[in-house]
Chain A
Amino acid sequence: MKQDIFQAIADPTRRAILTLIAIQSLTPNAMAEKFDMSRQAVSKHIKVLHECELIKPEQSGREIYYHFNAKKMQEFDHWIAQFRQKWEIQFNQLDELLSTIKDKK
């Protein structure tokens, strides 16, 4: 599941789509227009983003608007933060080791 998000955000066009709909929800047609892409190309990107739940569709009359799912992005950030924390703890341990060695000298 996390891997899907990686794949999703590794693509510059999909990142641009996310940035745009984070500000304002859009229909697939509006996205195609803004990015000067075919409907098929947009549909492909929407599929990837939707599968990893980074965006959510909402029916409004006859149109489907895609919204940015901030909660999912937060989950992902949290996941990365745990990895960062591992390093932080390792380095703090190294700080202690370095100061112990220095004191001995």
Chain B
Amino acid sequence: MFPLSSTMEFSAGTELALAALLGVGFGFCLERAGFGSARKLTSVFYLYDMAVVKVMFTAIVTTLIGLTVLSAVGALDLKELYLEQTNYTAQIVGGVLFGAGFIVGGYCPGTSIAAMATGRKDGMVFVLGMFTGVFTYAELTPGLDAWYTATARGEMTLPGVTGIGMGWWAAAFVAFLVFAAWGMSRLEARFAPTLGSGRI
């Protein structure tokens, strides 16, 4: 049954309408969480407001549970879902650059749109910087895409690599989230009085 894209043919217009609709939900969530503000976002790196990790990890766990349950009852074919190939070098080098850009620029690509939508000038400039970065990548290093594919290790998931089923991983992620929630509340209690008071 799911994903719908495997059993029915959407017209291009329908696909874009769905994109717009899902995007509204996406942007609404980001702004509701406070992710239109660079100070709120970067406070996670100074440990006095861990909302970024809370939202991201809860979202991952929610989707993971949904996918696990739906595939277990036979309503979803996981093999029909797109999976990016793993390329350790690309993901580590790209991840390090991305993390540096995040703490220096104050946003990530999705949240910069939420910042721009709510008037933040630094969000608008970040978007401009991103556009320039993407353009530069295409102009200066167009060969990196082919390098990624040539050196990739194929589709790799934790259940596939370890032989431990998705349900066990989902349970482990839930347990880790509960433990992390406790740890994060401790961190916030420790650092909010000195770093975060009245700042966000």
**B partners with A:** no
